[in-house]
């Protein structure tokens, strides 16, 4: 398999292996030792095919030796390493074509956009909750202060708009009012369309009831006419029978 990989992807090099977890397994260390024939420090990527949390469904690990203080022999264990998912231009084009083929046509672009926005907001809420938990643990001296994390948080707060400036505050107010006006007009239009559909539905139901009543009356009249014709024909038959006698 490695030779076939080299023939197809000569410029790429093997860096590790993966499985669909969703957690680490007891045999992962033994399998990881086998991959050391091809790379000195293989990376294990565990992929969760049914993720229940928002974010990347992958976790990356590499094996390290854990030294015990009691003098026992060192053991190997997996240590988590940060990772991200990327693709080359050709791979991105292929994925886009694949997604276009499996796209659900029953879901419109607006619904898809709203779903993506909700997913992003949920992810943002989870990240903010993690930041809050970290800062609380730092204040309680449960975690050491990490200057890099604090600097990144400061950069995030610096990117927030300063609403104390009149121009910025006015711009945000105008933008918010415009969006609320658009939502109001859209809601009114949807309500009017729904009301028209309800009226048309009632008219169609009324016409269907009148048509059914007319059909029932016509069928009853036809039955009565046939019964009257049968009754009128019966005496004539009796007279003919009497004359024959």
Are 13 and 61 in the same domain?
yes
How many whole angstroms separate alpha carbon 106 and alpha carbon 112?
A: 10
How many whole angstroms separate alpha carbon 27 and alpha carbon 18?
A: 13
DSSP secondary structure string, 82-111?
A: -------HHHHHHHHHHHHHT--TTS-HHH
Residue 71 covered by a domain? yes
Domain end (from 40, 56, 85): 85
Residue 153 covered by a domain? yes
- Give the chain's largest Cα–Cα span: 134
Are 5 and 79 in the same domain?
yes
Residue 74 covered by a domain? yes
Over residues 223-239, the pLDDT tens digits come to 777 777 666 655 555 44
How many whole angstroms separate alpha carbon 87 and alpha carbon 19?
A: 19
Give the residue numbers spanning the domain of 184: 165-215
Are 156 and 171 in the same domain?
no
The number of distinct structural domains making up the chain is 3
How many whole angstroms separate alpha carbon 29 and alpha carbon 38?
A: 15
Residue 185 covered by a domain? yes
CB within 8 Å of 76: residues ≥ 6 apart: 29, 63, 64, 65, 66
Over residues 106-139, the pLDDT tens digits come to 555 777 788 888 888 888 898 899 999 999 999 9
Domain end (from 121, 140, 160): 160
Are 150 and 181 in the same domain?
no
Q: How far is CA 154 from CA 124, 148, 176, in A?
A: 17, 10, 27
Residue 94 covered by a domain? no
Over residues 160-190, the pLDDT tens digits come to 888 788 888 888 889 999 999 999 999 999 9
Residue 226 covered by a domain? no
Residue 93 covered by a domain? no
Residue 231 covered by a domain? no
How many whole angstroms separate alpha carbon 82 and alpha carbon 211?
A: 71
């Amino acid at each position: 398999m490695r030779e076939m990989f080299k023939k197809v992807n000569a410029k790429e090099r093997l860096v590790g292996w993966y499985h669909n977890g969703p957690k680490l397994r007891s045999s992962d260390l033994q399998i990881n030792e086998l991959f050391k024939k091809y790379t000195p420090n293989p990376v294990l990527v565990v992929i969760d095919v049914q993720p229940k949390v928002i974010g990347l469904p992958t976790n990356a690990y590499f094996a390290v030796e854990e030294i015990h203080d009691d003098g026992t022999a060192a053991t190997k264990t997996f240590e988590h390493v940060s990772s991200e998912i990327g693709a080359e231009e050709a791979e991105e084009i292929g994925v886009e074509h694949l997604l276009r083929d499996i796209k659900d046509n029953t879901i419109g672009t607006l619904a898809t956009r709203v779903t993506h926005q909700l997913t992003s907001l949920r992810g943002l809420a989870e990240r903010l909750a993690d930041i809050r938990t970290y800062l609380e643990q730092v204040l309680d001296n449960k975690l050491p202060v990490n200057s890099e994390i604090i600097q990144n948080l400061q950069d995030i707060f610096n990117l927030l708009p300063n609403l104390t400036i009149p121009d910025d505050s006015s711009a945000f107010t105008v933008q918010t009012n415009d969006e609320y006006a658009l939502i109001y007009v859209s809601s009114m239009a949807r309500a009017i369309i729904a009301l028209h559909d309800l009226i048309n539905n009632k008219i169609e139901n009324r016409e269907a009831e009148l048509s059914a009543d007319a059909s029932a009356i016509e069928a009853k009249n036809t039955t009565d006419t046939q019964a009257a014709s049968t009754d009128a024909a019966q005496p004539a038959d009796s007279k003919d029978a009497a004359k024959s006698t």
